[in-house]
Amino acid sequence: MGRKIEAVCRWQDLEPGILILQPGCAAEFKTGDWRTGQKPVIDYDKCVKCGRCYIYCPDLSYELREDGKYDWLADYCKGCGICAVECPAGAITMEDE
Amino acid sequence: MMDKMSATEALKDFQKYTPKDFPAYEALVPGHRGCQGCGEILALRQVLKGMGGPMIVTSATGCMEIITSPYPHTAWNVPWIHVAFENAAAVASGIEAGRKAMIRKGILPAEEADCKIVAYGGDGGTADIGLQALSGAMERGHNMVYVCLDNEAYMNTGIQRSSSTPFGANTTTTPPGELSFGQATDKKDIPGIIAAHGVPYVATASPFYYTDLMNKAKKAATVKGPAYLHVFAPCPTGWRAAPSSAMTLAKLAVESKYWPLYEVIDGKYVINKKIKKAKPIGEYLKPQRRFSHLNPAQIEYIQAQVDAKYDRLMYLAGEAEDE
Amino acid sequence: MAKRIGLESSLACSEAVRLADADVIAAYPITPQTHIVEHLSELVADGKLDAEFVPVESEHSAMSACVGSSAAGARTFTATSSQGLILMSEIMWIASGMRLAMVMAIANRSLSAPISIWNDHSDIMSIRDCGWIQYFCENGQEVMDLTITGFKISEDPRVMLPVGVNLDGFNLSHVIEPILIPEADEVKAYLPPFKPPYRLDPNDPKTFGSVGVPEVYAELRKQLEEALQDSLPVIEEHWQGFADRFGRAYKPIETDFMDGAEVALVTMGSISETAYTAVKEMREAGKKVGLIRIRLWRPFPVEAFIEAVSAVKQLVVMDRSLSYGGAGGPVATELRALMSARKNMPQTASYIIGLGGRDVTRGDFKEMVEAAPSQIDAGRVYDFFGVKED
């Protein structure tokens, strides 16, 4: 065959039934690239450690840190703005990146 | 000797989550291909978080399956299987039966009986094409949890109506036009249908009320036998709402009595959050352009239906106010 | 000491599943499969088979539950016929595409419309493309033996494909024959516990059934085809292993009376036994006729078939179903396709027989052998036989 075939791999290298063996490997795909210009900015002085940003994030883009507040993860955040809307302390605003 | 499964018995020493102590468990990882602001993946994430591992998950075809398993990627940290659109409950039945036999025959160690079997589907995969398999699984009494993530249409194929699409909603197969105003029938009462199967535990939930949701997920997993969760799953894409609005809608839905939070435990209805002064339904409908074509008379009709359904629920829970 | 008893072939199938120590049976009743699942229910109820019997609410859910059970690592069995087979066809494709091991007995029955509970091959032929291993039993002993070998083949890590064991509905399923039931410990030695190379395991999470994006779908389909073709030597190996242990040998293609045969009948399933007697009688009358009996249908044993037909000048191929509006019966169509790439292959005549339970007699076979040359001379692709026309 002359031209390059658009395939993931040779058929011989495929797992049976295209089984995926590595759990959670979607984390290789950085959906942070999907953000269209705005990102959440956190004023930690206002943060009351309620955890809503973390629990309301569809993209698991908040991580609990030692002081009980939450770090924002740029790699996966799609910029939906739910966290900014739902923060009861007004600690999160969506700002241009 | 009849071994009737009692949810009340199973939940006797139930340890609740509180708003401050939600679990760290995640069955999913980021990197999934969900839309910006997807309320369904969030609902699913919260349900599985509330249940905790170990678990095996079966998925219907739909948004969740597509966004979490684009070969060669998987967003799943737990064993997961997708087979077809209408059979998540039947596949789960087979897994449950298989593991039950394997444990009894000593092929698997007895401790593995603590592995939860969870099936989920959207409203299409649950109430329409999936209703038969779900009904069969519930009736046979398998020890499993079924979760319906209800975004009120067949979203993955492009926003077509389902039997869970509410009255008046604009979908691509119930578009408002010269001769039509959108979905002409009322939303099917799926929790009621499942409760009629006599399963030990049925509950509705909304991801805004995450403590309530996670406790219900944990209860469903604790109960022996079939448990059913019906979860409000806002879809900004399909409902034509702002990407940041999923939780606002999940709150308004409950506050307006549109999505009452209740449980059916051993056949007894329990309302978890009684709404005294409900927000008018218009407030819930307004942020969703799928309802923007409706006229005041239609909105009044919707309000009347919401009130009637809520009153009926109160009656079923033995909480009906005297006339 | 193995004992021979009079047993209905359906029950022989159930007994085979018991001997194989299946873990899960998920099945929905349909005539003429019912005796298989009813007897399995009895065996489970009496504790003679330690398995979960899942009385699913349809065949589609039967196959779905089997997929789940097999993926979980349990030895899985189901059975169906006709409408049930077609209803579950969506999931049959998925079972093979996901490379899962299971055995299904199919009591072949004609397809609606019109509704018919009687035997022909239209059910299995309409789903033959789906990637399952498929073979046909001729008699009750084969039903017993080949159900057992079905698990051995299916669960072999080199195979991991679902197996369909076909037995003619009523004509074979409901017939009582003297059957030698193997000893349980012998079967256990032949068929060790199921150890799948992959399963749903909370200690080792895997993702089954991901999205086959265009960059992978074609490679998976190639993988499936290669797996099915590569299963042929494994099938022969396990049938030989069965012969070594139990003394009954099964081959993908069987031949009778082929010495000096100029023409050969080609048959599949229980009708082969009637054909055998017809050919024997034709030989006694001096006609140089032979018989080729196809046992293994998928993967089709090409080389064994080519070898069997090389010396004859003419084949008279029997089909018990038809691809409407196409090139005729599936068996004849496929055999002609396979022979077209070779040189010096026999001519073929094709007959569609025995639809919807219509009887086919020894006399019928003799008539067809006589009539075959005129079909070939006239250039007709196939003829119906035994249909009232005038």
Residue B131: CB atoms within 10 Å? 18
User: For all residues of chain C together, what is the average pLDDT?
Assistant: 97
pLDDT digits (tens, 9 = 90+) for C85-142: 999 999 999 999 999 999 999 999 999 999 999 999 999 999 999 999 999 999 999 9
pLDDT digits (tens, 9 = 90+) for B150-181: 999 999 999 999 999 999 999 999 999 999 99
Cβ distance A8 to C160 less than 8 Å, yes or no, reads no
Instruction: Find out whether the peptide bond into C193 is cis, omega within 30 degrees of 0.
Output: no
Q: How far is CA B318 from CA B264, B313, B315, B321, C63, in A?
A: 12, 9, 5, 9, 42
B118 vs B48: CA distance, rounded Å: 9
Cβ distance C23 to B107 less than 8 Å, yes or no, reads yes
Does pLDDT of B322 surpass 60?
no
Six token digits for residue B10: 């199973």
Does pLDDT of A29 surpass 80?
yes
Q: Which residue of B has its CA nearest to A63?
A: B24
Six token digits for residue C360: 């086919």
pLDDT digits (tens, 9 = 90+) for C161-177: 999 999 999 999 999 99
Mean pLDDT of C196-202: 98
Residue B304: CB atoms within 10 Å? 11
CB B171 within 8 Å of CB B183: yes
Question: How high is the pLDDT of residue B323?
Answer: 46
Q: Which residues contact C58 (CB under 8 A, 6 or more apart)?
A: B132, B133, B136, C28, C87
Confidence of residue A36 (pLDDT cuts 50, 70, 90): confident
CB B275 within 8 Å of CB B318: no
Question: How high is the pLDDT of residue B3?
Answer: 55
B248 vs B241: CA distance, rounded Å: 10
User: Which residues of B fall within a CB distance of 8 Å from A84?
Assistant: 244
What is the β-pairing status of strands C263-268 and C76-80?
A: unpaired
Mean pLDDT of B68-90: 98
- ipTM exceeding the 0.95 mark: yes
Q: Which residue of C has its CA nearest to B119?
A: C68
Six token digits for residue B208: 């805004």
C131 vs C224: CA distance, rounded Å: 7
Question: How high is the pLDDT of residue A73?
Answer: 96
pLDDT digits (tens, 9 = 90+) for C239-260: 999 999 999 999 999 999 999 9
Cβ distance A58 to B42 less than 8 Å, yes or no, reads yes
Does pLDDT of C70 surpass 70?
yes
Residue C147 backbone class (left: φ over 0; alpha: ψ -120 to 50; beta: rest): alpha
C71 contacts chain A (CB < 8 A): no
**Chain centre distance of CA C60:** 20
Does pLDDT of B2 surpass 70?
no
Measure in Å the smallest separation between the Cα of B113 and chain A Cα atoms: 22
User: Which residues of A fall within a CB distance of 8 Å from C154?
Assistant: none
CB C106 within 8 Å of CB C167: yes
What is the β-pairing status of strands C163-168 and A70-72?
A: unpaired
Question: How high is the pLDDT of residue C3?
Answer: 75
> Which phi and psi (to 5°) does residue C208 adopt?
-105, 135
- For C19, the enclosing helix (H) or strand (E) is helix C9-19
Mean pLDDT of C288-309: 98
Angle between helices C59-71 and B88-104 (to 10 degrees): 50
Question: How high is the pLDDT of residue B321?
Answer: 67
Confidence of residue C77 (pLDDT cuts 50, 70, 90): very high
CA atoms within 13 A on the CB side of A71: 9
Confidence of residue B1 (pLDDT cuts 50, 70, 90): very low
B171 vs B176: CA distance, rounded Å: 8
Cβ distance C160 to A20 less than 8 Å, yes or no, reads no
Six token digits for residue C99: 């490379």
DSSP state for residue B303 in the 8-state scheme:
H
Confidence of residue C1 (pLDDT cuts 50, 70, 90): low
Does residue C240 sit in helix, strand or coil? helix
Residues 12-51 of C with CB under 8 A from B: 23-24, 26, 50-51
- Of A24, A75, A78, which has the smallest distance from its Cβ to B75's Cβ? A24
pLDDT digits (tens, 9 = 90+) for C320-343: 999 999 999 999 999 999 999 999
CA C262-C264-C269 angle, to 5 degrees, is 170
Confidence of residue C2 (pLDDT cuts 50, 70, 90): low
Question: How high is the pLDDT of residue B21?
Answer: 87
Mean pLDDT of B295-299: 96
A86 vs A56: CA distance, rounded Å: 8
Measure in Å the smallest separation between the Cα of A18 and chain B Cα atoms: 8
Does pLDDT of B241 surpass 50?
yes
Confidence of residue A23 (pLDDT cuts 50, 70, 90): very high
A12 vs A32: CA distance, rounded Å: 34
Q: Which residue of A has its CA nearest to C97?
A: A17
Q: How far is CA C139 from CA B75, B193, C317, in A?
A: 50, 47, 20
CB C265 within 8 Å of CB C275: yes
What is the β-pairing status of strands B226-232 and B201-205?
A: parallel
DSSP state for residue B160 in the 8-state scheme:
B
Q: Which residues contact B61 (CB under 8 A, 6 or more apart)?
A: B82, B84, B85, B125, B156
Cβ distance C209 to B76 less than 8 Å, yes or no, reads no
What is the β-pairing status of strands C3-8 and C176-181?
A: antiparallel
Q: How far is CA C202 from CA A15, A87, B55, B114, in A?
A: 19, 35, 6, 10
- For A71, the enclosing helix (H) or strand (E) is strand A70-72
Does pLDDT of C306 surpass 70?
yes
Mean pLDDT of A23-30: 98
CB B44 within 8 Å of CB B149: yes
pTM over 0.90: yes
Residue C344 backbone class (left: φ over 0; alpha: ψ -120 to 50; beta: rest): left
Chains in contact with chain B (at least 3 beta-carbon pairs closer than 8 A): A, C
Mean pLDDT of B82-91: 98
Angle between helices B210-222 and B39-51 (to 10 degrees): 50
Cβ distance B20 to A20 less than 8 Å, yes or no, reads no
Question: How high is the pLDDT of residue C197?
Answer: 98
Does pLDDT of C48 surpass 90?
yes
Residues 93-132 of C with CB under 8 A from B: 94, 98
Six token digits for residue C113: 């419309």
Cβ distance C220 to A18 less than 8 Å, yes or no, reads yes
Residues 46-85 of C with CB under 8 A from B: 50-52, 54-58, 60-61, 64-74, 76
